[in-house]
Structure 1
Amino acid sequence: MYFQDSLEYKSENIYHQKTREYFNEVMSSYNNGNYRSAVVMLYSVVICDLIYKLQELSDRYSDHIAISILEKIKQEQEENPTNPKWEKTLIDEVSTRTNLLEPQDKLNINYLRDSRHLSAHPVLDRLDILVKPNKETVRANMANMLDGLLCKSPILSNKIINTLLADLVSIEEQLVKQEDLERYLNSKYLTKINKPTEEKLFRDLWKFAFRLEDAQTNKHRIVIYNSLLILFRKELSFFVSLIQNDKNYYSQITLENPYILDLMLNFWSRYPVTYLHMDETVKVIIDNKVRENFDLFAKSVFLSDSLIEHFSKIRTRSSSEDFTPRMRDTETALLFSLSREQGITKEFLDLLIFLFRKSSSYSDGDYNFREFIIPYGKLFTKEQFIEILTAINENNQLYGRWDSRKDNPRLKKIIDESPYKDEFDYTQYSNFRF
């Protein structure tokens, strides 16, 4: 809406309280037509805001870059108390050593600095020895400073990853649900960073999630991975292009670590386009791994053109194996999540029933009933319940196992609590004993 472009609206979003208070003086001068005073004060506000942000990074996050910049300008002030050279040093240091200012922001600040000098310092060879800027120029300067600096959070430091990782460790046990973690990260970090910082953060999170193997990273890899997912979904097309344009970096993955491999397959299956941009060496390794391991194959959805096609491939491979392969709960959970997102839950449940029917030993039957039938009992249709009962009735590895004595009553209870409870004639299934 148009009012969101107003200076008044933008000034309400100034990050630091003292900066907001100082900016009110700029607004007062501007509204009263005192444009020269507005420019002079605006430049002072910018310098103060840079210092406030560095101080917060120093005090709250122990940011070494912020500390070193503050020490440098303090030393310059002490050496030349009357020389304002330290202001330029401050702007240059923040611009080159942090991500707080984008290139255009620095250009705008330099332009404001020049305007301030012309407004504050007499020029002897001019009729008006003090330059008076026009209203439009002053307003543009104010808008540029609000957008480029004053309304930004100070966490745009190059070292944001250190701050974020320490924070993740501290809140990991409190924010177990993904939606809670997402709300937390968006509120505290992701809504306050710019594109260069997003790119740097994504690269760092990728490295920690899929490459590093130190003890701390191993311990907290899941919350790091979940944070990467949240950031990736925020700007999906942007991050896909990053991967595409720097495949060498993003293809450096520790695939021999089973935990990293598991998460990597999960990520590729959720976002198959990212796998397309991997280096060929990665694809060769993955092809070999999934050929040798059914568990890895089952969750590698990205190797199929669609989830439906992948379900078909699982059926085909499980039928050709000498033994009945088992899908682990991690594979099942991923396939269930993807099937819900794509509206094909029925096809997913049909696959589970197919694998349950194929149980070739008592232990397979116990496992498949526990993992494939009970957790999804409330989702089965009448026809699917019939398929399950028929499978039990016809496969002695299902009806003859010891655990069927307690499992069959559990299944009947689920059916009796469904909308189809009065539509079953259990006498048709003589081997289904409850």
Structure 2
Amino acid sequence: MQDYSIDLASERITHPKTKEYFREVMSSYAIGNYRSAVAALYTIVISDLVFKLKDQVERENDQGAERILREVAAEKTKNAERFSAKWEFDLVDKVGKETKLLELGDITAIEHLKNHRNLSSHPNILDTEENTLFTPTKEQVRAHIRSMLEGVLTKSSAHTEKLVDTIIEYRMPDLYARADEETEYDHMLINRYLKDLNEKAIASLFRKLWKYTFRLEDELCITNRDVNARTLLLITSVYSEIVFRCISEDQKFYSLVIPNTDQLKKMIEFFSKNPRLFRLLDKDIQKDIEQEIKKTPTFYVKSIFLSASLDQHLIDTTNYLQDRKITIFCLRAYEKLTKELNNRQALVKLIFKYYSQSDSYTDAYSRFSLLKRMVPLESLNEAEYYDLLKVMNTSSQIYNGTNCPDLISEIQEAAELKLGNKLDLSSYSNLQ
């Protein structure tokens, strides 16, 4: 395992002032002035917390961050001792309790650093038999530096309490409206917010968006369902293991979804890209979702997560559509599925079925035009030519159409070009 590099880690310090001041710590550490290094490090940690809160107020108008700064400033002002450290302790406590910036372990590490800072900065010679000042060891100082880099200094300011709600309510809709396409939205959201959120903030954002997208039906959720659903997909793509843990550790919450039409469309899109997450839900809600999906053929074709594999879903879908009316939307969804599996034959069969279900002469002509675009006549093999003739011969909406002779001529021309001879129409009495 590669040794931890303080130099490399320090390059990831987010605030420019903190990065500048941190050089003092490294300078003292390098020449063996360990008391000075500890004292400077603690001062820089407190300063960095203030910098981050101020950044959030300026960048996001974060009311939670502003309140912490205001309360800490008031405590500092009222204390008679100008250099009292009480406000520093209050700052760490408030940031720990009211923001997502510090973990419990980080707070404990700061407390440990503070104790060594106090011992290093204040004479304790009267308390020691050896008449020596306290000096932390090189290993202790290195441990402090590492824990502060990992727990505080290399974290972004974007972790305060209200930020997740601000992102959902204001930032996401604004970026989504400004983006020309969804990939541009993804890029902006990652660079401006997601890359700076810690794991807890990501989990919180995902959890709230799940509820807003798949469960709630108030006006705001309806308005923002597209951007919320898109962001769920983005978070799952970038932070797949965090999302997996979220759902697997709280199955009850994530199984509370409402498979109504709007929500169901988004569920199909989400689970089709993340089938393993569907199987983490409660078995009963899985069945409910599947039952709702099967009411609409297009939904079922798109729902590859309902089958064990993509190949199996094509088989299941083909069987499911056997006795059902095929819509253009269903046909397009099936086309996408067959292309993923490179199964042209299955697509040809469904297109012929779609053509056979023509409701009028006009509809039949329109569907034949679509058939030619999706499966050019010259691409058919001999068996498929005769399957097409059979469809035309058994549908009065096709063979009674005034343009049917022209369609037969087109087929014959394509067949002669492909096979070297025209097709035998003797078995198709309605087409002669």
Q: Check whether TM > 0.5.
A: yes
Whether the 8 Å CA contact 2:57–2:63 is kept in 1: the answer is yes
Equivalent position of 1:391 in the other structure = 388
How many correspondences in the alignment?
Answer: 417
Alignment pair present for 1:300 and 2:303: yes
Q: Distance in 2 between matches of 1:202 and 1:98?
A: 17
Whether the 8 Å CA contact 1:36–1:132 is kept in 2: the answer is yes
CA gap 1:390/1:85 in 2 versus in 1, 3 angstroms:
same
What is the percentage of aligned positions where both structures have the same residue? 30
Whether the 8 Å CA contact 1:254–1:260 is kept in 2: the answer is yes
Whether the 8 Å CA contact 2:102–2:151 is kept in 1: the answer is yes
In terms of mean alpha carbon deviation, does 393-402 or 151-160 score higher? 393-402
Provide the secondary structure at the position in 1 that maps to 2:178: coil
Alignment pair present for 1:318 and 2:321: yes
Equivalent position of 2:93 in the other structure = 92
Q: Distance in 2 between matches of 1:407 and 1:93?
A: 78
| Candidates 223, 226, 236, aligned match of 1:219 | 223
What is the CA-CA distance between 1:392 and the residue it aligns to?
A: 6.6
Provide the secondary structure at the position in 1 that maps to 2:318: helix
| Candidates 235, 238, 249, aligned match of 1:245 | 249
Aligned Cα RMSD in Å? 3.7
CA gap 1:230/1:426 in 2 versus in 1, 3 angstroms:
farther
CA gap 1:224/1:119 in 2 versus in 1, 3 angstroms:
same
| Candidates 208, 213, 219, aligned match of 1:209 | 213
What is the CA-CA distance between 1:91 and the residue it aligns to?
A: 0.8
In terms of mean alpha carbon deviation, does 82-91 or 154-163 score higher? 154-163
Q: Distance in 2 between matches of 1:191 and 1:421?
A: 61
Alignment pair present for 1:152 and 2:135: no
What letter matches 1:303 in structure 2?
L
What letter matches 1:146 in structure 2?
L
What is the CA-CA distance between 1:129 and the residue it aligns to?
A: 4.7
What letter matches 2:189 in structure 1?
L
Q: Distance in 1 between matches of 2:138 and 2:84?
A: 30
What is the CA-CA distance between 1:157 and the residue it aligns to?
A: 2.2
Whether the 8 Å CA contact 2:42–2:114 is kept in 1: the answer is yes
Provide the secondary structure at the position in 1 that maps to 2:257: coil
Q: Distance in 1 between matches of 2:179 and 2:296?
A: 33
What is the CA-CA distance between 1:275 and the residue it aligns to?
A: 2.3
Equivalent position of 1:110 in the other structure = 111
CA gap 1:424/1:245 in 2 versus in 1, 3 angstroms:
same
Equivalent position of 2:31 in the other structure = 32
What letter matches 1:391 in structure 2?
L
Alignment pair present for 1:356 and 2:347: no
Whether the 8 Å CA contact 2:56–2:157 is kept in 1: the answer is yes
Q: What whole-Å deviation, never above 9, does each CA across 1:131-150 have from its counterpart, x for those lacking one?
A: 11122221221122112111
What is the CA-CA distance between 1:244 and the residue it aligns to?
A: 2.2
Q: Distance in 2 between matches of 1:286 and 1:421?
A: 49
Alignment pair present for 1:44 and 2:22: no
Q: What whole-Å deviation, never above 9, does each CA across 1:223-248 have from its counterpart, x for those lacking one?
A: 22111111112232432232122122
Whether the 8 Å CA contact 2:172–2:189 is kept in 1: the answer is no
In terms of mean alpha carbon deviation, does 361-370 or 28-37 score higher? 361-370
What letter matches 2:354 in structure 1?
F
What is the CA-CA distance between 1:401 and the residue it aligns to?
A: 6.3
Equivalent position of 2:292 in the other structure = 289
In terms of mean alpha carbon deviation, does 139-148 or 184-193 score higher? 184-193
What letter matches 2:90 in structure 1?
T
What letter matches 1:125 in structure 2?
D
| Candidates 147, 153, 169, aligned match of 2:173 | 169
TM-score (structure 1 length as normaliser): 0.82
CA gap 1:247/1:180 in 2 versus in 1, 3 angstroms:
same
What is the CA-CA distance between 1:283 and the residue it aligns to?
A: 3.2
Whether the 8 Å CA contact 2:255–2:282 is kept in 1: the answer is yes
| Candidates 126, 133, 136, aligned match of 1:130 | 133
Whether the 8 Å CA contact 1:392–1:399 is kept in 2: the answer is no
CA gap 1:298/1:122 in 2 versus in 1, 3 angstroms:
same
Q: Distance in 2 between matches of 1:313 and 1:364?
A: 28
What is the CA-CA distance between 1:347 and the residue it aligns to?
A: 6.8
Q: Distance in 2 between matches of 1:338 and 1:154?
A: 44
CA gap 1:170/1:17 in 2 versus in 1, 3 angstroms:
same
Whether the 8 Å CA contact 1:390–1:429 is kept in 2: the answer is no
What letter matches 2:102 in structure 1?
L
Equivalent position of 1:142 in the other structure = 145
CA gap 1:202/1:118 in 2 versus in 1, 3 angstroms:
same
CA gap 1:353/1:183 in 2 versus in 1, 3 angstroms:
same
TM-score (structure 2 length as normaliser): 0.82
Q: Distance in 1 between matches of 2:145 and 2:187?
A: 31
Alignment pair present for 1:228 and 2:225: no
Q: Distance in 1 between matches of 2:345 and 2:406?
A: 28
| Ranges in structure 1 where 5+ consecutive residues have no aligned partner | none
Equivalent position of 1:328 in the other structure = 329
What is the CA-CA distance between 1:39 and the residue it aligns to?
A: 0.7
Q: Distance in 2 between matches of 1:283 and 1:145?
A: 45
- State the structure with more CA Rg: 2
Provide the secondary structure at the position in 1 that maps to 2:202: helix
Q: What whole-Å deviation, never above 9, does each CA across 1:294-321 have from its counterpart, x for those lacking one?
A: 3333333222222222222332232223
What is the CA-CA distance between 1:47 and the residue it aligns to?
A: 0.3
What is the CA-CA distance between 1:89 and the residue it aligns to?
A: 1.1
Q: Distance in 1 between matches of 2:160 and 2:406?
A: 59
What is the CA-CA distance between 1:76 and the residue it aligns to?
A: 0.8
Provide the secondary structure at the position in 1 that maps to 2:135: coil
In terms of mean alpha carbon deviation, does 420-429 or 40-49 score higher? 420-429
CA gap 1:401/1:209 in 2 versus in 1, 3 angstroms:
farther
